[in-house]
Structure 1
Amino acid sequence: MWERDAPEEMGDLTRCAHGGEDLLPSATDPLTPPIWQTAAYAYPDLDTLDAIYEGRERGFIYGRYGLPNHVQLERALADLEGAEAALATASGMSAISSLLFALLAPGDRVVASELVYRGTRNLLDLDLARFGVIVEYVDATDLAAVEASLQRPGQPPRLLYVDFLTNPTILVHDVPSLAELAHRHGALLVVDSTFATPYHGRPIQLGADLVVHSTTKFIAGHHDVSGGAVVGRSELVERARRQAIRMGGIGGPFDAWLALRGLRTLALRMGQSSRSALALASRLVEHPAVERVSYPGLPGHPQHDLARGLLANGFGSMLAFEVEGGRAAVARLVRALRLIRFAETLGGVTTTIVHPASTSHRSVEQAARAAHGIGEGLLRLSVGIETTEDLVEDLERGLASLA
């Protein structure tokens, strides 16, 4: 990982704390990386310019092409995922759009999970479809249905696209089996691992070809960054990088610096929030006002056994639960909360709760939402690093308002 001597085998805490430190090694390295707040670089001569453009010398060109802070973040993410390369972008959707536009051409076919992140689905349906990309949605938790779609006569599939953990229903996709199916039929497997993070799951090591993250969420972890990432094989990541450069998808150095700063504590934050999420889910499943709870750590979750085999260090910080009484009950519950914030975000140090039917899936017809398990009483909880007992008390305060 580093140019200076470092052990090859390191724990997650160490990798998070030291990732990306090898950019400018010297006899006196700064403990905190600086922010390279510049839009462009000067060259001493034409030969140096040629060498940098041709990759014979290490150097930087222009902000839109990426700056040292981006490279540090990229190296840290690639190391955590066990991948060859990474690309840091301005947002999660910038990462996804750069990747898809780089890999797809008119007539290509994509098989995607019907529960794929709503922003990704809008991109596939409203933008890529206009350029002749064929998209077919499938229940990706049903491996037989996935294979039937992949082997459908006609245009061979180019991509299979799934979220490791679905938003907002928190189902688990069988990444190793999906990778085997995709590769058998000549497709690449792309996994959005925003919810799982490299702390809980590493899709590249499970057979995926590419991973995308919204680093806005758990990677940065403080509700103060916009960013995204593509991680995987160098050749594929570089294609996405060229697309991102052409589309203006590379962010500024400060957001990359903030994301790397947040990454330093990823393992600590995810460990705490995952433990709290399990405690909250265990309380919720016993509450009379709660109709159902979706959290992979619960034995009653439909993919609990799968999650035990695929996820490490716990089951993640995201859970969903449905209360009796629909939207009216949701309104009472969120109004009664004092610590948990009602906000359209996730993955930060503070716990947030959101009503998907009013936010991410607002434009989806009610019948279609219901078919995917997104009812009017469904709430998605992103658990932060607060003391577990405080979160339990606050959530029970909200639930008491439904009595």
Structure 2
Amino acid sequence: MANRALRSILATLLAVALVASGSRNDAVAAGATKHPRLSLVRGDREPPEGRHKPSAEAIKALREAVAKKPRDRQARFDLVMGLTRAGKLAEALAAARAWRQRDAYNLVVVRLIGDLYAQLGQTRAAQRAYSAVVELLPKSADAQRALATVMKQAGQLAAAHERLLAAAALAPKDSRIAFELADTAQRLARQLRAKGRSAQAAQLAAAAEKRFKAIIDGPSTPAKIAYPARQRLAQIYAARRNGTRDAAKRRALDEAIGKLAVGGAVNDIKVYLTWDTNRTDVDLWVTNPTGETINYKHKRGALGGALYGDVTDGYGPESFTTQSAAKGTYVVAVNFYGTRRQAFREARGEVVVVLDEGRPSERRFVLPYRLFRPKQTVTVARVVVR
């Protein structure tokens, strides 16, 4: 894509920087999304510590840490974020630009600069900064995918889909990128269908279904990717079954769902976690109403909920399913376990919560998150079961 076209698309991303600077998104103010039995309350976008305004003494200590170790990326990052939380945006931008002079290919600082320019109202400069994510590393699938994450969090699914197509072309054997591309195509199809663009929606939905099948059938696809792909295909078949009264078609679709062996396509709660960087371990934690946490250490809960997948090398997906949810509250959190990367150490991504999966009342909630360093945790949602 030419730079001019890319920057035109990236202009739509500027709103996300304003959201990302806070810990909560606009939909949180609406509180719980109500349902006769299940309701979802949105949580935080960033860890709680990101909301604290540092003191002048703390800012001074952050500057001293950078002066003492100018090559320390964590010290540089802490200074930029500290200045941002303190409301000193111009100083934060200066610190970020000084960092980039030493570390030009670090995608974290590139995105930070774009965020800061946007918050300062410097639209053209923000566009140039965001475009640099892929202009610096045009042959990097990671860079394309990272930019796609920013686009999705801005609600620009069509632009995100284009970036993921580019990432898939650069890494055609990466089933994790293929999974996210199929997922984004599926979501974009729903969006277009809601706008009355049925023909385009049908094409994208068919492409998503084809990609999920290819992932499942791929001889080198790891089980931790093939299983969630089977889950998604089962959802497609369940929706198709719910949309027809033809008994023969319903039986055939039920048989197809059964062959996928995902334990049923009708569930009270389904949760998917993805993130935007390779060689990075991000974990899904779900705490059930008894206080029991289901995660990579404890994959099956006493109340029946279960986690599938512990993806330790990047992207995800990880998923949690409970077919029959117990009364009470399920807490959905994301933990940044660790990374083997040097140039791109933060984790941004999405949690998708599906309520009443496979039923006519099915609803989906997309919850962006951002974690700045390993060992941080953010609670993105609570699901209340009555």
Give the TM-score normalised by structure 2: 0.32
Give the strand-richer structure, 1 or 2: 2
Name the one with the larger helix percent: 2
Report the TM-score, using the length of structure 1 for normalisation.
Answer: 0.31
